[in-house]
Amino acid sequence: MKRSEIVKEAEGWIGTKWQHQQATKQVACDCAGLARGVYANLTGTQVEIMDYPATWHLFKKEERLYETCKEIMDEIKLSDIKAGDILLFAFRPSFVCHHLGIYTGKGTFIHSDMDAGKVIVSRLDSFWKSRLRCAFRFREVED
């Protein structure tokens, strides 16, 4: 799979309504559902995840999102991110990773934002960089 294909597929999700634990293009998705849906649409492989409440990161210290990403992707250095890579965020230093987006390679990333209520494009600005914890790359990516 090419990086440009990942970004193009993710762009096709822009405007999709935010809904917890959903992963259907132009219907509804959360941040993990966006990545799962993009991956499934490009590879034909569905990624199964365990059930999770929308606020699990507030009361549990389990790195579920991080561990799930490790199962199907390779962790990369933040200094090595390229278009199509998955960025993981934590909104507070004491929180586990609980949000993700797909890097476009243009200083922006695509993500399903609960506050916006849909999939949007955001700049990887100081707000987001301060919350960026790690990055992953799909194993199928052709460099």
User: How would DSSP label each residue in 26-47?
Assistant: TTEE-HHHHHHHHHHHHHS-PP
- Taking the CA atoms of 103, 6, 68 and 16 in sequence, report the sign of the dihedral they define: positive
The enclosing H or E element of 129 equals helix 126-129
Residue 31 is assigned to a structural domain of this protein: yes
Mean pLDDT of 30-44: 95
Residue 63 is assigned to a structural domain of this protein: yes
CATH number, domain of 51, equals 3.90.1720.10
Domain that holds residue 95: 3-138
pLDDT value, residue 52: 66
Residue 143 is assigned to a structural domain of this protein: no
Residue 17 is assigned to a structural domain of this protein: yes
Tally of CB atoms within 10 A around 104: 20
- Predicted structure pTM score: 0.93
**Count: domains in the chain:** 1
DSSP lists the bridge partners of residue 123 as: 108
